[in-house]
Structures are given as C-alpha cells and as structure tokens.
Amino acid sequence: MDITTGHNARQRGFDPLLAEAPPLDAADRGYREERDASGAAAAVARFSARAESDPDAVWGALRRHELDVRVAGEDPGPAFGRILDDWLRAIAADERPGDAESSARVNVPSRDIALVNALSARGFAPTGIRAVRPLPRGALAPAPALPAELDGAVVRTATLDDAPALGALDARLLALDAHFAGVTERPGAAAMFAEAYRARLRTAPDTTWVLERPTGITGCIHVMPDADSPEPDTLALAASGGQYLVVMYLDESERGAGTGAAFCDMAHRLLDAAGSPYTVLSYAVANPRSGPFWSRMGYRPVVTEWQRRPAVLAV
C-alpha cells in the first residue's frame, strides 16, 4: 500500500475541501513509518526555533516540534500511535520536562476521528481550529459602501494613522488567546503589530476595516490572501485564491448586542462582492465564544491543531 495514496483516498471520503497531500520524502532523516494489518502511517518530524524578539514568537513556543502525517487503511490509529510514541521519545532526548517554551504539534483533518484517541492518550489536546466559509451560492448581497453607520458607530477602511490603535487591539486579542495555549504574549507585541499594520496598509490599503466611535476605534477586521497566510504549516485547501481573515477583535463594550456579527457580515459582503471563492480563519478551540460565533457566521472546521505544551510533560 502506498501510504500517501491511501491517505488522500481516505481524506477525499470525509472532507473534499482539503487538498491532496504530497508524498513524504522517505530519505528525510525525520521520516517514520508504521504498518499493521488494519492500517499504516508515515510522518516526517520537523523542528524550528526562534528568539523571543522574533515576530513569529507570539504564535507559540520558542521551540516547535511538528509532525507532517499521512495515514491509510481502515484503522490507522494504532500505527499512528506508534509513530507518535517514537517521535515523543526523540523529543524527550532534546527537551527539558515541563519547559513551556517547547511544544509538539500535529495538524490533522478535523473530520478524521480515527486519529483522536491516539493523540489524546499521549497528552495532546486540540488547541486550534482552521475553518472555512465558502462563497455563498446564488445571488450575493451588494458590497456595502464605506464609511457606513453600524449601531451608532462608523465602519470605515483603516488608514496608516490607525496603525497604533490596530496594534493595541491586536495585542489585546493576543492576550485573550494566550489563555488557550496556542499563542504566547511577548514583550513589545503591540508595537510589533502596529508596524506590521503599517506595512500591510501601504501595500493593501483596502483589506483592513475599523469600527469607530467618538471615543476611538473599538473593533477591527483584517484580511489577506490565503496564499500569504500566517499558518504556512497547516493543511492546504483544495481551492485557492481565497482570503484569510487574520484578525477580528471587538472591545468588550461592543459585545453581546449583535454588533460583531453585523460587522463581520459587512466584511463578508465586501469579500463576496470581490469574488473571493472562500474565506478561511483560525480560532482557539477552548475559547467558549469563538466556535459558536464562527459557526453562526457560516464557517466549518477543516483542520485541527493538536498540541502538547510543554513537549515533554513534567513528571
């Protein structure tokens, strides 16, 4: 059995929105393979490290062990579990138990329930969901003209002068999401985000929108092409050319009255009218607001990130 061919056949059966996975390189020194009568699994282990000052450091631990997985057969869970065991033994030789700046991460199709028990039994927990909203079929609502009034506030396109406020909102979102194990607060995050917004607004000025009241900016939505996604290691979609909703954040004072849904609907109408074939985003599994909200907005999970952080659990 060719494992990648079997993997792609299984995946097509439960989620046609995901792209076929490319073959793994058996010559890679991180390659592992397991087979039995009911299934097979193969994977390549990868490692990356960054300094605390690196802009990418906010998106997890400083030392990240990741596993690129293919599974095949009627019951690939046991073979997958043995690969996890081998990988975790190798990690244990390099990492200090209990060090939260290390993580072991695996991205798997959200609908591949055959892999869940193997991950859970080894101390992995689902931390992130990548979800997609396809372009609605049939007649589309026209794009709203901006600026526009919304619940007594104004929705408008962001400008370079908004970068400090956008950076501050993004840092507050980071602080919120840091409660759910997927990201990490780092010193200087607000300034780093503000500089990133300046760069984005110079090159793509029509992809960031703010919700503004007389007291200041109380919400923002930012998108970018999915091809430029900040999640390069996630599983690819079968479609291409869509938009990645990088950030949506509302001040606490704006929540609970439907303002967020209305603001998001305006952004969707702008993207739909521009012909984006889909919109994709990521959210924290443990955030009690995120899953229900994004489901109501038309998104459904396609990829789940499972993580062990620290990579070697404390004894």
Alpha carbon distance 229, 97 (integer Å): 32
pLDDT of residue 233: 77
Percent of residues, the chain, with pLDDT higher than 70: 99
User: Is the pLDDT reported for residue 310 higher than 70?
Assistant: yes
Dihedral angle sign, alpha carbons of residues 40, 110, 108, 23: positive
- Smallest CA-to-CA distance from 74 within 145, 174, 1 is with 1
What DSSP string runs through 138-185?
Answer: S--PPPPPSSEEETTEEEEE--GGGHHHHHHHHHHHHHHHGGGTS---
pLDDT of residue 70: 98
Q: How confident is the model at residue 142 (pLDDT cuts 50, 70, 90)?
A: confident
Percent of residues, the chain, with pLDDT higher than 90: 91
Q: How confident is the model at residue 139 (pLDDT cuts 50, 70, 90)?
A: low
User: Is the pLDDT reported for residue 290 higher than 80?
Assistant: yes
Alpha carbon distance 290, 310 (integer Å): 24
pTM of the model: 0.95
| Residue-wise pLDDT tens digits, 157-205 | 999 999 999 999 999 999 999 999 889 999 999 999 999 999 999 999 9
Residues 6+ apart with CB under 8 A from 78: 36, 38, 39, 118
Peptide bond into 310 cis (omega under 30): yes
Is residue 305 within 8 Å of residue 294, measured between CB atoms?
no
Dihedral angle sign, alpha carbons of residues 115, 121, 123, 125: positive
Peptide bond into 292 cis (omega under 30): no
Scanning 219-281, the segments in alpha helix (DSSP H) are 259-273
